[in-house]
Amino acid sequence: MRPVLSLIQFDPTYRLCLHSQSTKTKSSYQSSFSRLLKTSNTSTTNSTPSSSDTSSMSSATSIVSSVVGSIVTIVVVIAIIKCIRKNRMQARNTSMQTTSVSVVKDETNINMVTIERFLADIVKERPVRFTTQNIIDFTQNFEQKLGSGGFGIVYKGQLPNGVQIAVKVLHKTQDKRAEEQFMAEIGTIGRTYHINLVQLYGFCFDDTLKALIYEYMEKGSLDSYLFDENQKLKWEKLHEIAIGTAKGIRYLHEECQKKIVHYDIKPGNVLLDTNFSPKVADFGLARLCDRDNSHISLTGGRGTPGYAAPELWMPYPVTHKCDVYSYGMLLFEILGRRRNLILSQAESQEWFPRWIWHKFEGGELDGVMTNCRIEHSNRDKAERMCKVALWCVQYQPDTRPSMNSVVRMLEGEEEIIAPTNPFQYMMSFDGSSSQWSESRGYSTSTTTATNESEANSLIHQNQQ
Ligand SMILES: Nc1ncnc2c1ncn2[C@@H]1O[C@H](COP(=O)(O)OP(=O)(O)OP(=O)(O)O)[C@@H](O)[C@H]1O
Ligand SMILES: [Mg+2]
């Protein structure tokens, strides 16, 4: 048994040689292996046999040594495989630790080395960690405000290499989110790539400042084009934007590594690049931080009134289908190039989605086309859009289509069967006040609003 003992004693040396990353590793294995064999031979020859037993001993010795040799070979091979695996695991862990975030330590100067590392990090799919001073430098002390929303204020900025950025400075909340949890969410958002998603370049997680650094979208958000009389986009372009947006959401739900529910699909979160190509913004934020009170829904602060699915304000389970609902509401607004709720409109058209349902139910989709000023050449696409929107806003989440189906239906690749009434559930409210029921359907954010005017004023507040 001595040779095997020798092997056990030998093992540490052997590990050491595996840990060294020299190219001599293979020869080290070989020399170690021959050392081992030598040990085995030596041990065998050290035991002195009597002369009469020489021939039987020599054949026994050769059997023993060949058995021992085979055992040794097997054990060594297993040990080598184990060590290689272990080494690979260690290498992978180290690289994961370094890829999750990389820190820009230089407080005052962003030199070329930093920039090169930053660009390399982007290529390697990792968001970069910046300091507060970096953010101050990039935004020239928060000089140009782009807008604000439920999570914070957005400023325009520029990296030292000229790349334009949008910096979202997150509200300080009571929620003392742990750094690791923040990093984990950032890791997910930062590794999510699609042509229809706004890219996260980096973040800041200092005591004084928490911020997210995004690619800058030159044309701003879709709402300014949909609802501003002077900035109308052609309907064909809007149709493309609708499909691009659906593809972005489809990626979040069905194609990226970790499924992401957006919770806040709305025209303000569809940003447009120089060519008016759409990119969905703010995905992953719902898990990353709390919203402020301006967008609050009493069931946990998710979604924006008018776009939030019923299950977000009622005690029902919430799934990715809440995004499908919000997308449906967005689709109505794209179709009509108007807000879904305009209280100054004739009462029948006050809440656009329900007006469309009534038209569809009565076989009068032509009236919708005329009302929305949709040219003849676009009517097929617009009709499809109508039906898809009605499917998306179904009350039961399971009845809503997947985003993959949405894309296919909009592109004319999937047949669209006639939608069922998505607003059936509102009938129970209709007895007391039809406007209240529509407000509930639109606003959806409050359970404290006990009357029609209170509900309407909430909707007004949230529309501003
Ligand atoms: N990456 C960006 N590039 C250019 N402008 C941006 C970018 N991100 C945000 N903005 C601008 O800042 C505004 C405010 O964005 P923000 O996301 O804070 O608010 P919101 O989308 O209205 O609400 P929410 O908090 O629900 O997302 C947007 O309407 C848009 O005009
Ligand atoms: Mg936003």
Residue-level pLDDT at 447: 29
More confident residue, 464 or 306: 306
- Percent pLDDT > 70 in the chain is 61
Q: Are the beta carbons of 289 and 247 closer than 8 angstroms? A: no
Q: Is 440's pLDDT higher than 50?
A: no
Q: Which atom of ligand 1 is nearest to the CA of 223?
A: 29
More confident residue, 44 or 286: 286
Residues assigned a catalytic role: 264
Q: Is 457's pLDDT higher than 80?
A: no
Q: Best-predicted range by mean pLDDT among 106-110, 206-210, 293-297?
A: 206-210
Backbone angles phi, psi at 212, to 5 degrees: -120, 140
pLDDT in tens, 175-195: 666 788 888 888 888 888 999
pLDDT in tens, 360-390: 999 999 999 999 999 999 999 999 999 999 9
Query: Across-strand partners of 204?
Result: 130, 211
Q: Is 396's pLDDT higher than 90?
A: yes
Residue-level pLDDT at 357: 96
One-letter amino acid at 220 equals G
User: Which helix (H) or strand (E) covers residue 203, if one does?
Assistant: strand 200-205
Please give the structure tokens belonging to residue 350. Answer: 């006050």
pLDDT band with cut points at 50, 70 and 90 for residue 401: very high
More confident residue, 359 or 40: 359
Please give the structure tokens belonging to residue 439. Answer: 């407000």
146, 290, 295, 302: residue to mutate for ligand 1 pocket, most atoms within 8 A of CB: 146
What is the CB < 6 Å shell around ligand 1?
Answer: 146-151, 154, 166, 168, 198, 214, 216-217, 220-221, 264, 268-269, 271, 281-282, 295, 304
221, 262, 274: residue to mutate for ligand 1 pocket, most atoms within 8 A of CB: 221
- What end-to-end distance do the CA atoms of the chain give, in Å? 85
Place of tokens 């750094």: 179
Q: Is 5's pLDDT higher than 50?
A: no
Residue-level pLDDT at 350: 81
Please give the structure tokens belonging to residue 199. Answer: 């890219």
138, 139, 145, 154: residue to mutate for ligand 1 pocket, most atoms within 8 A of CB: 154
**149 Cα: distance to centroid of ligand 2 (angstroms):** 6
Rg over CA atoms, the chain: 33
One-letter amino acid at 361 equals E
Q: Are the beta carbons of 388 and 327 closer than 8 angstroms? A: no
Residue-level pLDDT at 184: 82
Rounded Cα distance, 16 and 29, in Å: 11
Show binding-site residues for Mg(2+).
269, 282
Rounded Cα distance, 202 and 138, in Å: 12
Residue-level pLDDT at 257: 83
Q: Is 17's pLDDT higher than 90?
A: no
Please give the structure tokens belonging to residue 157. Answer: 């900025």
Of the candidates 326, 463, 296, 304, the one whose C-alpha atom is nearest the C-alpha of residue 394 is: 326
Query: Across-strand partners of 270?
Result: 280
Backbone angles phi, psi at 267, to 5 degrees: -60, -30
**Nearest ligand to the C-alpha atom of residue 304:** 1
Q: Is 70's pLDDT higher than 80?
A: no
pLDDT in tens, 130-173: 999 999 999 999 999 999 988 899 999 999 999 999 999 998 76
Q: Which atom of ligand 1 is nearest to the CA of 151?
A: 25
Q: Which atom of ligand 1 is nearest to the CA of 150?
A: 25
Kindly report the average pLDDT of the chain as a whole number: 74
Q: Is 443's pLDDT higher than 60?
A: no
Backbone angles phi, psi at 202, to 5 degrees: -170, -170
Rounded Cα distance, 39 and 47, in Å: 13
Residue-level pLDDT at 120: 62
Q: Are the beta carbons of 360 and 371 closer than 8 angstroms? A: no
Of the candidates 167, 174, 448, 461, the one whose C-alpha atom is nearest the C-alpha of residue 290 is: 174
Query: Across-strand partners of 102?
Result: 128
Q: Is 101's pLDDT higher than 90?
A: no
Rounded Cα distance, 445 and 306, in Å: 8
pTM exceeds cut of 0.75: no
Query: Across-strand partners of 205?
Result: 210
pLDDT in tens, 317-342: 899 999 999 999 999 999 999 999 88
Please give the structure tokens belonging to residue 453. Answer: 């005017």
Q: Are the beta carbons of 260 and 205 closer than 8 angstroms? A: no
Query: Strands 200-205, 128-130: parallel, antiparallel or unpaired by DSSP?
Result: parallel
Residue-level pLDDT at 44: 34
pLDDT in tens, 224-272: 999 987 878 899 999 999 999 999 999 999 998 889 999 999 999 999 9
Q: Are the beta carbons of 210 and 204 closer than 8 angstroms? A: yes
**316 Cα: distance to centroid of ligand 1 (angstroms):** 29
More confident residue, 57 or 153: 153
Distances from the Cα of 264 to the Cα of 123, 260, 411, angstroms: 28, 12, 24
Q: Is 129's pLDDT higher than 80?
A: yes
Residue-level pLDDT at 111: 61
Q: Are the beta carbons of 189 and 286 closer than 8 angstroms? A: no
Distances from the Cα of 303 to the Cα of 131, 249, 296, 331, 401, angstroms: 30, 15, 8, 16, 19
